[in-house]
Every structure is written in C-alpha cells, then in structure tokens.
Amino acid sequence: MTTISSLCVFCGSKTGQNPAYALAAEKLAAMLCARGVRLVYGGGGIGIMGCLTAAVLQGGGKVTGVIPEFLLQYEVGNPDVDELIVVESMHERKRTMFERADGFVIMPGGLGTLDETFEILTWKQLQLHKKPIVLVNVEGYWDPFASMIDAIIDAGFAHPAAKELISIVDGVDDIFDVMARQPEPKKIVLTDHL
C-alpha cells in the first residue's frame, strides 16, 4: 500500500452544469484537510479546480499548484496556494504533478482532464509507476469512460487486467479505502502488447 501524503487531483477548469461536481470537490477537500494530505493540482483558480482549492485552503490544508506560463492568465492562476509552480509546457506540468503526488484522483472535467487521466493511466500500464488512480464517477459522469475502457479490452487492444490500473468509485467517501486496496499493475498489461 502506498502512503498518501500528497494527492494529485485532475478536474475541470469549469464547474459543469451539475452542482454535484463542485459539492464532491468540496467534500474531497474536507477529507484531504482531515487527513493532512497535500493537494497537488493544475494551478487554476476557476472551475472545479477553484472550488477544490478554495475549500482546502479554507480548511487549513496545503496546496501545490502547477501551471504552464501560457495558461496563467486564462486559468486565473491561484496566487493563494502555498506553492505555485510555473512551468514551460503542459508536458512539464503533468510530469511535475506526477513527481509530487503519491496517488491520483480524477473528478469530472473536460478534455484536459481526459488528457491527464490517459497519460497517467498509460504510464502505469507501461510500468513506469505503481501509484493508485481513482476515478470519481459523480452521478455517472464517467460512465462513458468506463464503457470506453471495456470496449478497448473487448476489441483486443488491452489485456483484461488493464481494468485494475484504475478504480472507479461513485463518490469521494471511498477514495482512500480503494487506494489502500488497489493492486499493483500486473506485468501482463505491458507484455501483452509486446
């Protein structure tokens, strides 16, 4: 089991149409504060990112934001975080968040959230890390993602054990329990492609 002292959360720079998304982020923030877990995230101050960060800071928690220079204005980079790391590119942002986190949580978000999710998931498939990844399926938001993973496996493009690379929960309450039980990636998810 990985000890979680810092958790990277991928989530939207918009709040979306369902208020449940932001509420779940605020609940996650309270859990992070209660456990003394540092939030690592994309550095923005708007959307679900902003809701999550504001709630962690209000709860006395610690936050590291990582944002590319060119997005600093667009995502209204949050100067209130304990640590704001400004990087040159999206690639450097993802690498930096990866290096500073013991695990990953994916909340509702858009294309950027999908990009981050697939990259960290692929790195795990390639045996580049063993960190837990949990997708929070707030009110079924990620049902299409889960169906896509099934379709990829059914079509023969991934080994069935690839489903073990990521855990899917319906709400934030189960995140830490699921992380504690997530198995290490099986070698077959890599060697099946070779």
Tell me whether residue 1 is in a domain.
no
Tell me whether residue 140 is in a domain.
yes
User: Tokens 């590319």 map to which residue?
Assistant: 68
Which residue from 113, 134, 120 is spatially nearest to 28, judged by alpha carbons?
134
User: Tokens 């708007």 map to which residue?
Assistant: 46
Which class for 10: exposed (0-12), middle (13-18), buried (19 or more C-beta within 10 A)? buried
Helix axis angle, 47-58 to 19-35, nearest 10°: 30
pLDDT band at 33 (very low <50, low <70, confident <90, very high): very high
Q: What are the pLDDT digits (tens) for 161-181?
A: 999 999 999 999 999 999 999
Number of domains in the chain: 1
Of 127 and 79, the structure prediction assigns the larger pLDDT to 127
Domain region containing 64 = 6-191
pLDDT band at 1 (very low <50, low <70, confident <90, very high): low
Tell me whether residue 113 is in a domain.
yes
pLDDT band at 77 (very low <50, low <70, confident <90, very high): confident
Q: What are the pLDDT digits (tens) for 130-141?
A: 999 999 999 999
The enclosing H or E element of 25 equals helix 19-35
Mean per-residue pLDDT, 70-90: 89
Find the CATH number of the domain harbouring 121.
3.40.50.450
Is the confidence at residue 92, as pLDDT, over 90? yes
Tell me whether residue 150 is in a domain.
yes
